[in-house]
Structure 1
Amino acid sequence: MTAVPERLRISTDPADIDVGFVHEFLSTRSGWAQGIPRDTVERSIAHSLCFAGRIGAEQVAFARVISDYATFANLVDVFVLPQYRACGYGKALMQAVLAHPQLQGLRRFTLATADAHGLYARFGFAAPRYPHTLMERYAPDIYRAG
Structure 2
Amino acid sequence: MDSWEKDGFILSTDKQYLDTDVIHHFLSVDSYWAKGITMEKVKKSVEKSSICFGMYEGDPSKGKAKQIGFVRAVTDFVRFAWIMDVFVLPEYRGRGLSKWMMETMVGQSELKDVRKMMLCTYDAHGLYEQYGFQTLDDPEIFMQRKI
Shared topology, TM-score over 0.5?
yes
Q: Deviations over 1:97-125 (max 9, x none)?
A: 11344213322100000100000000000
Partner of residue 91, structure 1:
99
Partner of residue 69, structure 1:
77
**Higher relative contact order, structure no. (Cα contacts within 8 Å, ≥ 6 residues apart):** 1
Partners of 2:37 and 2:142 in 1: CA distance: 26
Letter in 2 for 1:112: C
Partners of 1:64 and 1:127 in 2: CA distance: 20
Letter in 2 for 1:114: Y
Q: In the alignment, which of 97, 105, 129 is matched to residue 121 of structure 1? A: 129
1:33–1:9 distance in 2 versus 1, CA, 3 Å: same
Letter in 1 for 2:54: A
Partners of 1:23 and 1:59 in 2: CA distance: 12
User: When the two structures are superposed, what TM-score results if normalisation uses the length of structure 1?
Assistant: 0.89
Partner of residue 27, structure 2:
26
User: When the two structures are superposed, what TM-score results if normalisation uses the length of structure 2?
Assistant: 0.89
Q: Deviations over 1:68-98 (max 9, x none)?
A: 1121001100001111111000001101211
Letter in 2 for 1:41: V
Number of residue-to-residue matches in the alignment: 138
Partners of 2:146 and 2:89 in 1: CA distance: 26
Q: CA RMSD in A?
A: 1.2
Q: Percent identity?
A: 38
Aligned-pair CA distance for 1:134: 0.9
Segments of structure 2 that go 5 or more residues without pairing to the other structure are: 59-64
Which consecutive aligned stretches of 4+ in structure 1 deviate over 3 angstroms post-superposition? none
Partner of residue 56, structure 2:
54
Segments of structure 1 that go 5 or more residues without pairing to the other structure are: 140-146
